[in-house]
Amino acid sequence: MKKVGVIPFQITDDKISVLLVTSIRTKRWILPKGNLKSNESRKKGCLREAFEEAGIDGKILKDFPMTMVMPDKTVSKGEIPVIFYPMLVENQAETWPEQDRRERKWMPLDAALAEIPSKDILNVLQHFKTLSPWVTKAAEA
């Protein structure tokens, strides 16, 4: 089983904000992610998951994949690698498939790093922050 996810972001006045969603079971703040369907490209899977879970669409920055080990209760080991891609959010829908099961919230990246208690999500966001100079430049291209 392969999983993909996105780090949804926007840039306003040279400051990066990220969009988080709540998980269905625990309601903790997470990033949109899910299983890649058979014969589905990573990019297409990322776009599908982002829209289903957060109602967003945008530009996947495929030059910056980040493979991170994330908790997953559906596998015997309890963890699974997930390939995350930064996603410059261009559209945010008012309605989306999982809106009745999830909340979404924009946060400045530094605030998210200070407030999010989940170590797995913090690891992804810290890695994203390290790459942010290059991600920002690619987003503006």
Of the pLDDT bands very low, low, confident and very high (cuts 50, 70, 90), residue 14 is confident
The mean pLDDT of 40-51, rounded to a whole number, is: 96
Q: Determine the Cα–Cα distance for residues 23 and 103; give it in Å rounded to an integer.
A: 8
Which CATH number goes with the domain that contains 34? 3.90.79.10
Q: Determine the Cα–Cα distance for residues 48 and 40; give it in Å rounded to an integer.
A: 10
Of the pLDDT bands very low, low, confident and very high (cuts 50, 70, 90), residue 84 is very high
Q: Determine the Cα–Cα distance for residues 92 and 23; give it in Å rounded to an integer.
A: 19
Picking from 20-29, 56-65, 121-130, which range would have the lowest pLDDT averaged per residue?
20-29
Residue 97 pLDDT greater than 80, yes or no: yes
How many domains does one find in the chain? Answer: 1
Amino acid 32 reads P
Provide the residue range defining the domain that includes 72.
3-140
What DSSP designation does 111 have? H
The mean pLDDT of 91-118, rounded to a whole number, is: 95
Q: Is residue 105 classed as helix, strand or coil in its secondary structure?
A: strand
- Confidence at residue 1, expressed as pLDDT on a 0 to 100 scale: 63
The mean pLDDT of 5-30, rounded to a whole number, is: 94
Closest alpha carbon to 55 in 87, 27, 26: 87
Rounded to two decimals, the pTM is 0.94
78-81: long-range contacts (C-beta < 8 A, 24 or more apart)? Answer: 80/1, 80/3, 81/3
What share of the chain has pLDDT > 90, as a percent? 81
E-assigned strand segments in the chain: 3-12, 15-22, 29-30, 33-35, 56-60, 66-71, 79-92, 104-108
Q: Are the beta carbons of 126 and 39 closer than 8 angstroms?
A: no
Q: Are the beta carbons of 21 and 102 closer than 8 angstroms?
A: yes
